[in-house]
Structure 1
Protein backbone atom coordinates (compact mmCIF):
# COMPACT_ATOMS: atom_id res chain seq x y z
CA UNK A 1 0.00 0.00 0.00
CA UNK A 2 1.52 3.31 -1.05
CA UNK A 3 1.65 6.38 1.11
CA UNK A 4 -0.78 9.22 0.43
CA UNK A 5 0.65 11.91 -1.83
CA UNK A 6 0.82 14.49 0.97
CA UNK A 7 2.74 12.07 3.19
CA UNK A 8 5.20 11.27 0.39
CA UNK A 9 5.80 14.96 -0.16
CA UNK A 10 6.29 15.54 3.57
CA UNK A 11 8.78 12.65 3.78
CA UNK A 12 10.66 13.91 0.74
CA UNK A 13 10.82 17.43 2.20
CA UNK A 14 12.15 16.08 5.49
CA UNK A 15 14.88 14.12 3.69
CA UNK A 16 15.82 17.17 1.63
CA UNK A 17 16.01 19.29 4.77
CA UNK A 18 18.22 16.72 6.53
CA UNK A 19 20.48 16.48 3.50
CA UNK A 20 20.75 20.27 3.30
CA UNK A 21 21.60 20.52 7.00
CA UNK A 22 24.22 17.77 6.68
CA UNK A 23 25.78 19.50 3.66
CA UNK A 24 25.86 22.84 5.46
CA UNK A 25 27.48 21.22 8.51
CA UNK A 26 30.14 19.62 6.29
CA UNK A 27 30.84 22.96 4.62
CA UNK A 28 31.14 24.64 8.01
CA UNK A 29 33.60 22.01 9.25
CA UNK A 30 35.77 22.61 6.18
CA UNK A 31 35.43 26.37 6.55
CA UNK A 32 36.44 26.21 10.21
CA UNK A 33 39.55 24.19 9.33
CA UNK A 34 40.46 26.71 6.62
CA UNK A 35 39.88 29.71 8.90
CA UNK A 36 41.95 28.15 11.68
CA UNK A 37 44.93 27.87 9.35
CA UNK A 38 44.44 30.85 7.03
CA UNK A 39 42.41 33.25 9.16
CA UNK A 40 38.91 34.51 8.55
CA UNK A 41 40.19 36.71 5.74
CA UNK A 42 41.52 33.61 4.00
CA UNK A 43 37.98 32.30 3.68
CA UNK A 44 36.25 32.63 0.34
CA UNK A 45 33.42 30.88 -1.44
CA UNK A 46 35.88 29.81 -4.14
CA UNK A 47 38.45 28.35 -1.73
CA UNK A 48 35.76 26.49 0.16
CA UNK A 49 34.25 25.11 -3.05
CA UNK A 50 37.67 23.78 -4.04
CA UNK A 51 38.25 22.12 -0.66
CA UNK A 52 34.81 20.53 -0.47
CA UNK A 53 34.61 19.56 -4.12
CA UNK A 54 31.42 21.54 -4.55
CA UNK A 55 30.53 24.23 -7.03
CA UNK A 56 30.73 27.87 -6.01
CA UNK A 57 27.00 28.18 -6.54
CA UNK A 58 26.46 25.18 -4.25
CA UNK A 59 28.43 26.78 -1.43
CA UNK A 60 26.85 30.16 -2.09
CA UNK A 61 23.37 28.64 -1.78
CA UNK A 62 24.08 27.73 1.84
CA UNK A 63 25.58 31.05 2.96
CA UNK A 64 24.74 33.71 0.42
CA UNK A 65 27.88 35.78 0.88
CA UNK A 66 31.47 35.62 2.10
CA UNK A 67 30.52 37.79 5.08
CA UNK A 68 27.75 35.41 6.14
CA UNK A 69 30.19 32.51 5.75
CA UNK A 70 32.69 34.23 8.05
CA UNK A 71 30.02 34.97 10.66
CA UNK A 72 28.77 31.38 10.52
CA UNK A 73 32.32 30.12 11.10
CA UNK A 74 32.70 32.41 14.12
CA UNK A 75 29.47 31.05 15.60
CA UNK A 76 30.51 27.47 14.90
CA UNK A 77 33.88 28.06 16.55
CA UNK A 78 32.16 29.56 19.58
CA UNK A 79 29.80 26.58 19.85
CA UNK A 80 32.71 24.13 19.81
CA UNK A 81 34.61 26.31 22.30
CA UNK A 82 31.66 26.17 24.70
CA UNK A 83 31.41 22.39 24.32
CA UNK A 84 35.09 21.85 25.13
CA UNK A 85 35.80 24.64 27.62
CA UNK A 86 32.67 26.01 29.27
CA UNK A 87 30.13 23.21 29.66
CA UNK A 88 32.47 20.64 31.27
CA UNK A 89 33.69 23.28 33.74
CA UNK A 90 30.27 24.35 35.02
CA UNK A 91 29.75 20.83 36.33
CA UNK A 92 32.46 21.59 38.88
CA UNK A 93 31.72 23.08 42.28
CA UNK A 94 31.32 26.84 42.35
CA UNK A 95 34.41 28.72 43.41
CA UNK A 96 38.04 27.89 42.74
CA UNK A 97 37.29 24.37 41.41
CA UNK A 98 35.11 25.81 38.63
CA UNK A 99 37.45 28.71 37.90
CA UNK A 100 40.41 26.34 37.72
CA UNK A 101 38.47 24.00 35.39
CA UNK A 102 37.63 26.87 33.05
CA UNK A 103 41.27 27.88 32.83
CA UNK A 104 42.54 24.31 32.49
CA UNK A 105 40.05 23.53 29.72
CA UNK A 106 41.05 26.76 28.00
CA UNK A 107 44.71 25.78 28.15
CA UNK A 108 43.92 22.39 26.64
CA UNK A 109 42.04 24.11 23.82
CA UNK A 110 44.95 26.45 23.12
CA UNK A 111 47.37 23.50 23.20
CA UNK A 112 45.35 21.75 20.49
CA UNK A 113 45.33 24.95 18.43
CA UNK A 114 49.09 25.50 18.49
CA UNK A 115 49.41 24.04 14.98
CA UNK A 116 46.22 25.60 13.65
CA UNK A 117 45.30 28.81 15.42
CA UNK A 118 42.68 30.38 17.65
CA UNK A 119 40.02 32.26 15.71
CA UNK A 120 39.37 34.51 18.69
CA UNK A 121 42.99 35.66 18.71
CA UNK A 122 43.76 35.66 14.99
CA UNK A 123 40.38 37.26 14.27
CA UNK A 124 41.10 40.05 16.75
CA UNK A 125 44.29 40.84 14.83
CA UNK A 126 42.51 40.74 11.47
CA UNK A 127 39.47 42.80 12.47
CA UNK A 128 40.64 45.02 15.33
CA UNK A 129 40.41 48.16 13.16
CA UNK A 130 37.81 46.97 10.65
CA UNK A 131 34.27 47.79 11.77
CA UNK A 132 31.44 45.74 10.37
CA UNK A 133 29.23 42.68 10.99
CA UNK A 134 32.12 40.19 11.07
CA UNK A 135 34.01 42.17 13.69
CA UNK A 136 30.80 42.64 15.68
CA UNK A 137 30.06 38.91 15.64
CA UNK A 138 33.59 38.06 16.74
CA UNK A 139 33.59 40.67 19.51
CA UNK A 140 30.19 39.44 20.75
CA UNK A 141 31.50 35.87 21.05
CA UNK A 142 34.63 36.97 22.93
CA UNK A 143 32.58 39.18 25.27
CA UNK A 144 30.23 36.27 25.91
CA UNK A 145 33.13 34.07 26.98
CA UNK A 146 34.66 36.81 29.11
CA UNK A 147 31.31 37.37 30.82
CA UNK A 148 31.13 33.67 31.69
CA UNK A 149 34.65 33.74 33.10
CA UNK A 150 33.95 36.91 35.06
CA UNK A 151 30.82 35.33 36.50
CA UNK A 152 32.88 32.35 37.66
CA UNK A 153 35.22 34.78 39.43
CA UNK A 154 32.28 36.56 41.07
CA UNK A 155 30.86 33.23 42.26
CA UNK A 156 34.25 32.39 43.75
CA UNK A 157 34.00 35.61 45.73
CA UNK A 158 30.43 34.79 46.80
CA UNK A 159 31.37 31.34 48.14
CA UNK A 160 34.37 32.74 49.98
CA UNK A 161 37.19 31.26 47.88
CA UNK A 162 38.34 34.72 46.79
CA UNK A 163 38.66 37.77 48.99
CA UNK A 164 35.57 40.02 49.22
CA UNK A 165 37.40 43.00 47.68
CA UNK A 166 38.54 41.02 44.61
CA UNK A 167 38.28 43.11 41.46
CA UNK A 168 36.67 40.58 39.09
CA UNK A 169 37.40 42.66 35.99
CA UNK A 170 41.07 42.94 36.93
CA UNK A 171 41.45 39.24 37.63
CA UNK A 172 39.71 38.47 34.33
CA UNK A 173 42.16 40.76 32.54
CA UNK A 174 45.14 39.01 34.14
CA UNK A 175 43.86 35.49 33.39
CA UNK A 176 43.07 36.41 29.80
CA UNK A 177 46.55 37.89 29.50
CA UNK A 178 48.06 34.55 30.50
CA UNK A 179 46.24 32.82 27.64
CA UNK A 180 47.40 35.44 25.16
CA UNK A 181 50.97 35.02 26.37
CA UNK A 182 50.64 31.24 26.11
CA UNK A 183 49.34 31.45 22.56
CA UNK A 184 52.15 33.84 21.56
CA UNK A 185 54.97 31.84 23.11
CA UNK A 186 53.68 28.39 22.17
CA UNK A 187 52.51 29.15 18.62
CA UNK A 188 54.76 31.99 17.46
CA UNK A 189 57.98 31.43 19.43
CA UNK A 190 57.53 27.66 19.90
CA UNK A 191 58.90 28.09 23.40
CA UNK A 192 59.12 24.86 25.40
CA UNK A 193 57.38 24.90 28.76
CA UNK A 194 54.87 27.61 27.82
CA UNK A 195 51.90 25.59 29.07
CA UNK A 196 53.54 24.96 32.43
CA UNK A 197 54.38 28.65 32.75
CA UNK A 198 50.76 29.56 32.05
CA UNK A 199 49.57 27.17 34.75
CA UNK A 200 52.10 28.54 37.22
CA UNK A 201 51.07 32.08 36.35
CA UNK A 202 47.41 31.25 36.95
CA UNK A 203 48.11 29.69 40.35
CA UNK A 204 50.24 32.65 41.39
CA UNK A 205 47.70 35.20 40.14
CA UNK A 206 44.75 33.54 41.82
CA UNK A 207 46.68 33.06 45.07
CA UNK A 208 47.00 36.85 45.28
CA UNK A 209 43.20 37.10 45.47
CA UNK A 210 42.45 33.84 47.30
CA UNK A 211 40.96 33.81 50.79
CA UNK A 212 42.92 32.10 53.54
CA UNK A 213 42.79 28.32 53.16
CA UNK A 214 40.89 28.47 49.85
CA UNK A 215 43.41 26.39 47.92
CA UNK A 216 43.37 23.72 50.61
CA UNK A 217 39.56 23.64 50.81
CA UNK A 218 39.30 23.36 47.04
CA UNK A 219 42.04 20.67 47.05
CA UNK A 220 44.09 22.65 44.55
CA UNK A 221 47.88 22.86 44.48
CA UNK A 222 49.18 26.03 46.06
CA UNK A 223 51.10 28.49 43.94
CA UNK A 224 54.85 28.08 43.93
CA UNK A 225 56.69 30.93 45.65
CA UNK A 226 58.11 33.58 43.38
CA UNK A 227 61.81 33.18 42.59
CA UNK A 228 64.06 35.94 43.79
Structure 2
Protein backbone atom coordinates (compact mmCIF):
# COMPACT_ATOMS: atom_id res chain seq x y z
CA UNK A 1 0.00 0.00 0.00
CA UNK A 2 1.26 3.49 -0.84
CA UNK A 3 0.76 5.73 2.15
CA UNK A 4 -0.31 9.32 1.49
CA UNK A 5 2.44 11.91 2.09
CA UNK A 6 1.35 14.76 4.32
CA UNK A 7 1.88 18.08 2.55
CA UNK A 8 3.55 19.66 5.60
CA UNK A 9 6.28 17.00 5.84
CA UNK A 10 9.57 17.67 4.06
CA UNK A 11 11.01 14.19 3.52
CA UNK A 12 14.26 15.58 2.15
CA UNK A 13 14.80 17.75 5.21
CA UNK A 14 13.93 14.85 7.52
CA UNK A 15 16.51 12.67 5.78
CA UNK A 16 19.15 15.35 6.24
CA UNK A 17 18.44 15.69 9.95
CA UNK A 18 18.48 11.94 10.52
CA UNK A 19 20.49 10.55 7.58
CA UNK A 20 20.70 6.95 8.78
CA UNK A 21 17.63 6.04 10.74
CA UNK A 22 14.92 7.06 8.27
CA UNK A 23 16.66 5.58 5.25
CA UNK A 24 17.38 2.29 7.01
CA UNK A 25 13.78 2.05 8.18
CA UNK A 26 12.50 2.70 4.67
CA UNK A 27 14.87 0.13 3.16
CA UNK A 28 13.92 -2.46 5.78
CA UNK A 29 10.23 -1.87 5.11
CA UNK A 30 10.72 -2.21 1.35
CA UNK A 31 12.74 -5.39 1.82
CA UNK A 32 10.11 -6.91 4.11
CA UNK A 33 7.35 -6.04 1.67
CA UNK A 34 9.32 -7.62 -1.18
CA UNK A 35 9.80 -10.82 0.85
CA UNK A 36 6.09 -11.00 1.66
CA UNK A 37 5.15 -10.33 -1.95
CA UNK A 38 7.47 -13.06 -3.25
CA UNK A 39 5.93 -15.55 -0.82
CA UNK A 40 2.44 -14.42 -1.84
CA UNK A 41 3.30 -14.92 -5.50
CA UNK A 42 4.43 -18.47 -4.75
CA UNK A 43 1.22 -19.22 -2.87
CA UNK A 44 -0.97 -17.72 -5.59
CA UNK A 45 0.83 -19.73 -8.28
CA UNK A 46 -0.05 -22.98 -6.53
CA UNK A 47 -3.34 -22.12 -4.82
CA UNK A 48 -4.73 -19.36 -7.00
CA UNK A 49 -5.43 -15.79 -6.00
CA UNK A 50 -8.41 -16.94 -3.98
CA UNK A 51 -6.08 -19.12 -1.91
CA UNK A 52 -4.31 -16.04 -0.62
CA UNK A 53 -5.03 -14.77 2.85
CA UNK A 54 -3.21 -12.66 5.42
CA UNK A 55 -3.19 -15.66 7.77
CA UNK A 56 -1.74 -18.11 5.25
CA UNK A 57 0.91 -15.61 4.26
CA UNK A 58 1.82 -14.99 7.90
CA UNK A 59 2.34 -18.74 8.36
CA UNK A 60 4.59 -19.02 5.31
CA UNK A 61 6.71 -15.97 6.12
CA UNK A 62 6.79 -16.72 9.88
CA UNK A 63 5.44 -13.26 10.57
CA UNK A 64 2.53 -12.05 12.62
CA UNK A 65 -0.76 -11.29 10.91
CA UNK A 66 -0.42 -7.69 12.03
CA UNK A 67 3.04 -7.54 10.45
CA UNK A 68 1.69 -8.70 7.10
CA UNK A 69 -1.34 -6.46 7.45
CA UNK A 70 0.93 -3.44 7.94
CA UNK A 71 2.23 -3.89 4.38
CA UNK A 72 -1.04 -5.01 2.76
CA UNK A 73 -4.08 -3.53 4.41
CA UNK A 74 -6.52 -6.05 2.99
CA UNK A 75 -6.71 -9.38 1.19
CA UNK A 76 -7.91 -7.61 -1.93
CA UNK A 77 -4.96 -5.24 -1.87
CA UNK A 78 -2.63 -8.22 -1.47
CA UNK A 79 -4.19 -9.97 -4.46
CA UNK A 80 -3.80 -6.87 -6.64
CA UNK A 81 -0.17 -6.48 -5.57
CA UNK A 82 0.48 -10.10 -6.57
CA UNK A 83 -1.09 -9.53 -9.99
CA UNK A 84 1.14 -6.51 -10.54
CA UNK A 85 4.25 -8.36 -9.36
CA UNK A 86 3.48 -11.27 -11.68
CA UNK A 87 3.03 -8.85 -14.57
CA UNK A 88 6.38 -7.19 -13.81
CA UNK A 89 8.18 -10.54 -13.86
CA UNK A 90 6.34 -11.55 -17.03
CA UNK A 91 7.44 -8.35 -18.75
CA UNK A 92 11.03 -8.88 -17.67
CA UNK A 93 11.23 -12.48 -18.86
CA UNK A 94 9.09 -12.30 -21.99
CA UNK A 95 8.72 -8.78 -23.32
CA UNK A 96 11.86 -6.77 -22.63
CA UNK A 97 14.29 -9.33 -24.03
CA UNK A 98 12.14 -10.07 -27.08
CA UNK A 99 11.88 -6.44 -28.23
CA UNK A 100 15.64 -6.40 -28.71
CA UNK A 101 15.06 -8.53 -31.80
CA UNK A 102 14.54 -6.93 -35.20
CA UNK A 103 11.09 -5.62 -36.00
CA UNK A 104 8.88 -7.99 -37.91
CA UNK A 105 8.59 -11.74 -37.64
CA UNK A 106 11.91 -12.14 -35.76
CA UNK A 107 10.47 -10.06 -32.91
CA UNK A 108 7.05 -11.71 -33.06
CA UNK A 109 8.66 -15.16 -32.97
CA UNK A 110 10.83 -14.09 -30.03
CA UNK A 111 7.76 -12.89 -28.12
CA UNK A 112 5.92 -16.14 -28.76
CA UNK A 113 8.93 -18.35 -27.98
CA UNK A 114 9.59 -16.62 -24.67
CA UNK A 115 5.88 -16.87 -23.85
CA UNK A 116 6.01 -20.61 -24.51
CA UNK A 117 9.09 -20.98 -22.33
CA UNK A 118 7.38 -19.08 -19.53
CA UNK A 119 4.37 -21.39 -19.68
CA UNK A 120 6.61 -24.47 -19.73
CA UNK A 121 8.28 -23.31 -16.52
CA UNK A 122 4.91 -22.74 -14.86
CA UNK A 123 3.51 -26.22 -15.45
CA UNK A 124 4.06 -27.29 -11.85
CA UNK A 125 2.72 -24.03 -10.46
CA UNK A 126 0.39 -22.24 -12.81
CA UNK A 127 -0.05 -19.08 -14.83
CA UNK A 128 -1.77 -16.40 -12.77
CA UNK A 129 -3.16 -14.81 -15.94
CA UNK A 130 -4.91 -18.06 -16.86
CA UNK A 131 -5.88 -19.29 -13.40
CA UNK A 132 -6.98 -15.77 -12.45
CA UNK A 133 -9.23 -15.59 -15.50
CA UNK A 134 -10.97 -18.78 -14.34
CA UNK A 135 -11.34 -17.49 -10.78
CA UNK A 136 -12.52 -13.99 -11.62
CA UNK A 137 -14.16 -14.25 -15.05
CA UNK A 138 -17.62 -13.62 -13.58
CA UNK A 139 -16.63 -11.70 -10.45
CA UNK A 140 -16.49 -7.94 -11.01
CA UNK A 141 -14.24 -5.90 -8.78
CA UNK A 142 -10.73 -4.43 -8.41
CA UNK A 143 -8.90 -7.77 -8.63
CA UNK A 144 -10.62 -8.71 -11.87
CA UNK A 145 -9.97 -5.20 -13.18
CA UNK A 146 -6.26 -5.55 -12.39
CA UNK A 147 -6.07 -8.91 -14.15
CA UNK A 148 -7.91 -7.62 -17.21
CA UNK A 149 -5.67 -4.56 -17.36
CA UNK A 150 -2.46 -6.62 -17.24
CA UNK A 151 -3.63 -9.09 -19.90
CA UNK A 152 -4.78 -6.25 -22.15
CA UNK A 153 -1.36 -4.61 -21.78
CA UNK A 154 0.26 -7.82 -22.99
CA UNK A 155 -2.20 -8.16 -25.85
CA UNK A 156 -1.45 -4.57 -26.84
CA UNK A 157 2.26 -5.41 -27.03
CA UNK A 158 1.56 -8.41 -29.25
CA UNK A 159 -0.83 -6.39 -31.38
CA UNK A 160 1.86 -3.76 -31.95
CA UNK A 161 4.41 -6.44 -32.86
CA UNK A 162 2.01 -7.87 -35.45
CA UNK A 163 1.32 -4.41 -36.92
CA UNK A 164 5.06 -3.72 -37.13
CA UNK A 165 5.51 -7.02 -38.95
CA UNK A 166 2.99 -5.78 -41.50
CA UNK A 167 4.73 -2.41 -41.79
CA UNK A 168 8.12 -3.97 -42.56
CA UNK A 169 6.52 -6.25 -45.14
CA UNK A 170 6.77 -9.55 -43.24
CA UNK A 171 3.01 -10.07 -42.91
CA UNK A 172 0.40 -9.52 -45.59
CA UNK A 173 -0.95 -5.97 -45.50
CA UNK A 174 -4.57 -7.19 -45.46
CA UNK A 175 -4.03 -9.79 -42.74
CA UNK A 176 -6.46 -9.50 -39.83
CA UNK A 177 -4.32 -8.43 -36.87
CA UNK A 178 -6.99 -9.32 -34.31
CA UNK A 179 -7.31 -12.80 -35.82
CA UNK A 180 -3.57 -13.41 -35.64
CA UNK A 181 -3.52 -12.27 -32.02
CA UNK A 182 -6.48 -14.53 -31.24
CA UNK A 183 -4.75 -17.54 -32.78
CA UNK A 184 -1.48 -16.95 -30.93
CA UNK A 185 -3.25 -16.56 -27.60
CA UNK A 186 -5.29 -19.66 -28.38
CA UNK A 187 -2.09 -21.67 -28.89
CA UNK A 188 -0.88 -20.65 -25.42
CA UNK A 189 -4.19 -21.55 -23.79
CA UNK A 190 -4.13 -24.95 -25.50
CA UNK A 191 -0.53 -25.46 -24.43
CA UNK A 192 -1.32 -24.67 -20.81
CA UNK A 193 -4.36 -26.97 -20.81
CA UNK A 194 -2.74 -29.93 -22.53
CA UNK A 195 0.63 -29.71 -20.78
CA UNK A 196 -0.60 -28.88 -17.28
CA UNK A 197 -3.98 -30.63 -17.10
CA UNK A 198 -3.60 -33.52 -19.54
CA UNK A 199 0.18 -33.88 -19.03
CA UNK A 200 0.62 -34.22 -22.78
CA UNK A 201 4.35 -34.35 -23.41
CA UNK A 202 3.94 -33.22 -27.02
CA UNK A 203 2.13 -29.98 -26.21
CA UNK A 204 5.20 -27.73 -26.47
CA UNK A 205 6.04 -28.98 -29.94
CA UNK A 206 2.44 -28.60 -31.06
CA UNK A 207 2.32 -24.99 -29.84
CA UNK A 208 5.46 -24.17 -31.80
CA UNK A 209 4.11 -25.97 -34.87
CA UNK A 210 0.95 -23.92 -34.55
CA UNK A 211 3.00 -20.73 -34.66
CA UNK A 212 4.85 -21.96 -37.75
CA UNK A 213 1.56 -22.64 -39.51
CA UNK A 214 0.22 -19.21 -38.58
CA UNK A 215 3.35 -17.63 -40.07
CA UNK A 216 2.94 -19.65 -43.27
CA UNK A 217 -0.68 -18.52 -43.54
CA UNK A 218 -0.07 -14.80 -43.13
CA UNK A 219 3.56 -14.14 -44.11
CA UNK A 220 4.90 -12.61 -47.30
CA UNK A 221 7.88 -14.21 -49.12
CA UNK A 222 10.17 -11.69 -47.41
CA UNK A 223 8.59 -12.55 -44.09
CA UNK A 224 9.10 -16.28 -44.60
CA UNK A 225 12.75 -15.66 -45.32
CA UNK A 226 13.20 -13.47 -42.26
CA UNK A 227 11.34 -15.94 -40.05
CA UNK A 228 13.41 -18.88 -41.29
CA UNK A 229 16.57 -17.11 -40.13
CA UNK A 230 14.97 -16.19 -36.82
CA UNK A 231 13.82 -19.78 -36.27
CA UNK A 232 17.34 -21.08 -36.90
CA UNK A 233 18.69 -18.63 -34.33
CA UNK A 234 16.10 -19.72 -31.76
CA UNK A 235 16.84 -23.40 -32.38
CA UNK A 236 20.59 -22.83 -32.13
CA UNK A 237 20.20 -20.92 -28.88
CA UNK A 238 18.01 -23.61 -27.32
CA UNK A 239 20.42 -26.42 -28.23
CA UNK A 240 23.61 -24.58 -27.29
CA UNK A 241 25.36 -26.17 -24.33
CA UNK A 242 26.01 -23.82 -21.40
CA UNK A 243 29.59 -22.93 -20.59
CA UNK A 244 31.14 -24.62 -17.58
| Short-chain TM bin | over 0.9
1:217 is aligned to: 226
C-alpha separation between the residues in 2 aligned to 1:114 and 1:151? 28
Question: 1:124 maps to what in 2?
Answer: 133
Please state how far the C-alpha of 1:207 moved relative to its aligned partner. 1.2
Partner residue, 2:165: 156
> Given the two structures, how large is their TM-score scaled by the length of structure 2?
0.87
**1:206 CA displacement:** 1.8
> 1:56-93, CA deviations, whole angstroms, 9 ceiling, x for partnerless residues?
00000001000000000000000000000000000000
Root mean square deviation of aligned Cα: 1.4
- Contact (CA 8 Å) 1:94, 1:156: kept in 2 or not? yes
Is structure 2 residue 133 aligned with structure 1 residue 133? no
Question: Corresponding residue for 1:168?
Answer: 177
> How is 1:1-228 mapped onto 2 (pairs within 5 angstroms)?
7=16, 9-218=18-227, 219-221=229-231
Q: 2:93, 2:109 → 1: CA distance?
A: 14
CA contact (8 A) 1:99 1:149 kept: yes
Q: For residues 224 and 109 of structure 2, what CA distance do their matches in structure 1 show?
A: 11
Q: Give the gaps of 5 or more residues in structure 2.
A: 1-13, 233-244
| Structure 1 gap ranges (5+) | 223-228
Question: In the comparison of the two structures, how many residue pairs are matched?
Answer: 218
Structure 1 15/168 Cα, relative in aligned 2: closer, same or farther at 3 Å? same
Query: Is the 8 Å Cα contact of residues 35 and 119 (structure 1) preserved in structure 2?
Result: yes
Secondary structure of the residue aligned to 2:101 is coil
- Residues 149-183 of structure 1, C-alpha deviation per residue, up to 9 Å, x if partnerless? 01000000000000000111110000000000000
TM-score by length of 1: 0.93
Change (3 A) 1:89 1:24: same
Query: Is the CA contact (8 Å cut-off) linking 1:95 and 1:155 kept in structure 2?
Result: yes
Deviation at 1:214, TM superposition (A): 1.6
